Amino acid sequence: MSQDAEWEAPEGSWASSAARRRNMQAIRSRDTKPEITIRRLVHAAGLRYRVAARPLPDLRRTADMVFRPAKVAVFIDGCYWHGCPEHYVPPKTNSGYWSEKVLGNVRRDRETDEKLREAGWLVLRFWEHEPSDACADKIALAVLARREARLARGD
């Protein structure tokens, strides 16, 4: 007998079936196609950065791209997992669990933004559906402007 035939979702489980569980576990948390495309464009513009790094050592959250000296943290948010106002569609199965999960992600995102800003960081957030070249341009402009401001201050 296959594992799928034996498996039953326990009461209150996050997965409605073994197949759904495998599908959800296979979703990448980093190195998504939009992230890779934007990183390549930013790198081609001559900028260097850290990937999937903590902007602040005591904050247990990672940004998709971190420009430490310029204090710029970039997040490329997935439409489903971060509740995109244009594309998020609540699931039909186990909707209570997933809606609460996405809402928790949105709350954590806002808290992360606030903590980084309080520490002097510029937070840039983009949706996965936004044009990669436009995102890369905004990132490059922001990083270069912050670098110039640091140099002007003599940091």
Closest by CA to 64, choosing from 127, 106, 120, 142, is 127
User: Domains (ranges, CATH) in the chain?
Assistant: 1-28 (no CATH), 31-153 (3.40.960.10)
Pairing, β 50-53 against β 63-67? antiparallel
* Rg, C-alpha atoms of the chain: 19
**Structure confidence at residue 2 (pLDDT):** 40
The CA distances from residue 20 to 4, 8, 14, 81, 153, in Å, are: 11, 12, 9, 16, 53
- The whole-number pLDDT of residue 7 equals 37
- Looking at residue 4, its pLDDT comes to 41
Three-state SS across 85-99? CCCCCCCCCCHHHHH
pLDDT of residue 124: 98
Structure confidence at residue 23 (pLDDT): 57
- Model pLDDT, residue 46: 98
**pTM of the model as a whole:** 0.81
Closest by alpha carbon to 133, among 59, 47, 37, 26? 37
For the chain, list residues with pLDDT below 50: 1-10
